[in-house]
Structure formats: structure tokens, C-alpha cells
Structure 1
Amino acid sequence: MERKPLKPVAGKSSDKKRSAFLEGLITKYFDRRSDSDNADVAEGTAFDKVHVYDKVLQGIREKENKIRRRVYILRVAASILMIFSLASVLYLKKNEIENWLSPVKMVETRAAKGQTLLVKLEDGSRIWLNSDSKISYPEHFNNEKREISLTGEAYFEVVHLEKKPFVVESGAVKTVVLGTTFNIRAYPGNRKVEVTVLSGKVAVITPDRMKEISNTVYVTPNRRVTYATDGLQAVTAPVKAKESISWKEGKMLFSNTPIVQAIEEVERKYNVRLSCSDRIRECTITTTADLNNEGLDKVLKVMATTVNGTVSYENGAYHLDGKGCE
């Protein structure tokens, strides 16, 4: 009986090779059946090779169609997954993309030594900058948050916006609030960041370099969190919060303040150079005198009295010396 030739199956080269291979196997099978076919004809039970051949081809084509459908479904699924992944990335990076397409104009405000400044933001919040401090912020806040960068010291009165947190970055420390009043002291030379809360509640996020994670501390009124920039954990303590913003009213208040820190404050407020001898470098200063908007001479006199010493002036700089701490 004449065997119909195997029609080529449309598809890629790999599909053609597979079909050719199967055709070879079927042909060998029919050849082996030749002798038995003659015997079957004699007995009236001839083997219908054409029918079997067509059945095999039909099975092969059905199998290949299933494979093609699976491949098609996988391709569609991969395309959908790719679209969703791209959409997720675009959503997460939408602020960066917006900034790239339409760059945000940044504003920087600086208070020079011997100066304090009041800055009013577009949302109604107010910031008082202490001497030798600066802030930078976008001209217009985005729809998600109000973000500001601070170097130095500032007092914040933040307008409450429930869906738009107010974020202050000061070095490695982030202070996050919705609406409250607080003071941040983050002068680069102090090696620490202090956040003091007067009203409301703030979240202070600090890095933990030992564990390579971030820690969040919640600070309430009349408490202060101090983070040492050497990577130690943040420490909270009760304080008289209003004393931390005495500088806003032009006052100088020292309460068990290290003399080195007091000297830095005097230098910033009066824009002068002031140093001290090693003998008094470890002393602290607590003042009871009224230093509200007093002149430099009175402030230096009070400091000298505290350390049983004197103040001298030479080559454009003041120097504080004394017998030491009592």
C-alpha cells in the first residue's frame, strides 16, 4: 500500500527537525510491520497503515498546537508581568522622574554669625535660624511631604498637615512630624544632633552603624533626644524645653554647659574669635546672671568669673584663662 508523504509542519526550524525525526521513527515502524501486514492480509485482518499514520500525525499536530498555546500564554503572562513591573517602578520613582522632567528649584537661606533669621514657608510653617546656620528646601513642596535640610540650629513651628509630613534632615538624622514645635541643634563641629520637643510629638530616625539599621525614637514635650555622630544609639532625657530656644529671644543661657560649647555659642552670636586655656577646657558653665541681649563684654566677664579667670584680647581674638573648675 502506498504511504502518503509526511507534510511539513509550519513552525520554527526546531519544530521541523522534531517532525522529521518523528517521521523517521514512524517509517521504521511501518517497515518492521511489512511482513506481519502480509500475513494479516492472508487472514483478512490487514493493518490499516494509512489510518494509523494519519492518527499519529494528528496526535503530533495536537501536541505541537498545545505547546504553541502554552508558549503564547507564557509570552502574554511575561508581557503583563513586565508591564506591571514597569508601572511599579514608575510609581515608586515618580518623584525622581518628575524632578528630572521638571527640576525642583531649591531655596537656601543662611543666618550669618551674629544674626538670627525668621523664615516663612509656603505652607505657613515658620523657622527661626540661629547664628551660623542654614536651611535648604524646595520652592514648592510636592504632594507627599515637606522636606528640609538643616545645618546648624533652628526652631520650628510646623503647620499641621495630616497627609503631608514635615521632614528635617540634619546630617544622618531625620526628624519627622505632622505638626508641632521643636528645636534641632546640629552644628557640624559638635559631633552630635539634639532634638528638643516643646509641643506635639516627633519621630527621630537615626542610623545604628553597629547593626546597619535605622532606629526610630518618639519624642514628646519637654524631652530631648541626643544622637552622637560616632554611631552610638540615641539617648532621650527630660529637659526644660523652653530653655533650648532662649537664643531665639536673644538670650544666652548656660546650664552645666561645657565651656567649649559655650565658647562656640559666643563666637556665633557675636561673630568673634574666642579660645580658652587647657586648664579650663574640661569645665562647665552655669550662669545665673541675666544675659538677655547683653553685650559681649558682660558675657565674657560672667564666663571669666565662673572659671576664676580673666579674659585677654590679642591679634583680633579673645582668650579665656583661669585657675580651673571649682
Structure 2
Amino acid sequence: MNQPVPSAFLLEKYLNDQCTAQEKELVEKWYASINGKTDYLDTLSDAEQIHLQEETFAYIKTQIQKTEIKTQTISPTFIWLSGIAASLLIGLGFYFLNQRRENISQIAAFDTKKESISDTIYFRNNEPRMVMHKLPDGSFVWMHDNAAISYPRNFQKDKRTVTFSGEGFFDIAHDKTRPFLIQSGEVKIKVLGTRFNVKALEKQKMLEVSVVSGSVSVSAPGEKSTQEVILKPQQKAFFEPKSKRLTFFEIPSQAKKEIFEPVTIVFEETQLTSVIQQLEQRFDTHILLVNPDMNRCKLTADFEQQSLPVILEMLCTSLEASYTMSENTILIDGKACK
């Protein structure tokens, strides 16, 4: 019996270990049903084969005609075709690998930093700095490097759901009729309208949520039942997947703010060295100039309730510079000012 073909969105979740037990079973049953079948295309109905061909050729056409655009997404829909496209376009040279996860990784590979699969938008930040990504409802998320998000092109009428991995600061548009839901691994975050930071880094094996304004509900599976905590401003929650433990605590008051917390700061013909010193005093970060000659540059700007990523973007735009970020260290590079 043929298993239903999983969507590329589901395959991406599988690769990021974000599937539920039922989703994981569905993907693995599908893979087992087609592994080693060179005639897989013949098992599809005529309508399915036509649809498959249309998607494949539509993708090729978009690649040939593709030009630089300013929007955040493009729309290829062939991602899962790599295991069967050889029957349609032998010259593409797609093939299955031997190991299951490597195989599925090929099928669901996202080689560009932004992809759209039918009605699902996928975006990954491949830049060495934070990038702002706007969502269909007007919400936005400042994403650290390698952070990824996927969501429907049009949110449902009763809810707004996204899947997220990595680290990002969310600023959610208020809509009491449509709660905003974030799925990150086994953890679900529910909000109505607020500002908070999510850190779901695979290498740390722990998910962290901290709230700047509003409140969020964080739920995760426990050993016997679902756990849930409600976070208010200056509170943080941690979830350890291995122990299935969800905890939260108050964030102690500190002189320096997290980079995603807003501040008001004014610069009037201020030398760049002084600008950097003031930013380091306000935020928990360390800023270095790659080109020491930039010290002669001066900045005039009025930042009212802005986070560090916004300030850095405007600062670099003004100085025709760029920045990269690694953990809490920021490197600014640009030409010397005259």
C-alpha cells in the first residue's frame, strides 16, 4: 500500500527533529515504502504524474527567469522531487542516497536562504548578522544567523502558526481573534500580542524563551502530561528535551539590557568611539571596529525605544558600513570618514 507523500514542510521538520511522534512515523513509513523503487513514478495516478510534471517544469522556468527581487520569498515547489525527478528530467541527475536521513535531507534540501513550497513560506538567515523578516500579519522577527522560520503564505482566520528554530526576537502584531502560535521542537509558544525572544539552538540542547512585554504561554510535553507556564515581562522559561523539564524564573534586574530590549538614546555629532562606548554601556555586548580609522566618523541620530539590531542597521547605513555578529561580539567594518 502506497504511503501518502509528506510535504516538504514536514520533511524539513523531520530533519530539524521538530516532528511529533505521529509525524515522524508518517515520514519513515513513506520512506520505507519507496526506498529502492526505481519505478516509483509509475505508482502515481495520471493526475498525480501530471501535477508532478507541472511543478517540476514550473520550478525550472522560475530558475531560468529568476532575477534579483526585493521580496523575502521565492516560490519553487519541487523540493521533495529529488527522489523521483530522474524519471522526468534525467539530466538533473537527482538520486537517492543510501542512508535514510541523508536521503530525506536530499529530498527536502533548502540550498537558498529563502524558499516557498506551494503555500508554505520558508526563510533561513544565512547572513552573519541579524536580519528582520516580516510576517503576513505585520508581525516581524529579528533572526540571528542560521535561524529558520516557516509559515503559511496566508494565516488561518482563527490562528497564526509558524515553525521556528535558532534564535530570534519576535514582535507580534496584536490580534485577539487570532492567537499567534510558535512550534519549536516539542515546545509550543502562544501569544496574543507581545515582544519576546526565543532561543532554540540545537547545539545547546535547550530551548529558552524570555519576555520583554505582554505575556506568553509556553507548553511542552512532560513525563506524564503536558507542562505549561505563563511568562510575564522579565521572566524566562527553559525546556530540556532530554529530561522533559520545563522551568521558569525571574530575570534579575541588571544595568545592561539584552540586545533585543528597546532603549532611547540620542547622538549629536558624536564620535564613533563614544557611540560604541555608550552602546556597550546600555547593552550586554562587545563592539569592535575592524578598521580603526573609522574612529574619526561621527554620528547624529535619535533612537527612541529601539533595539540594538535596529540601531546597528541605521548606524551602518549612515556610515556605509556593515557588521557581523558572533554571540555577544559585534564587528563593524567600513571605510574611514573624511
Q: Does TM, normalized by the shorter one, top 0.5?
A: no
Category of TM-score, reference length = shorter chain: 0.3 to 0.5
Larger radius of gyration: 1
Instruction: Name the TM-score, length of structure 1 as normaliser.
Output: 0.44
Q: Which has the higher helix share?
A: 1
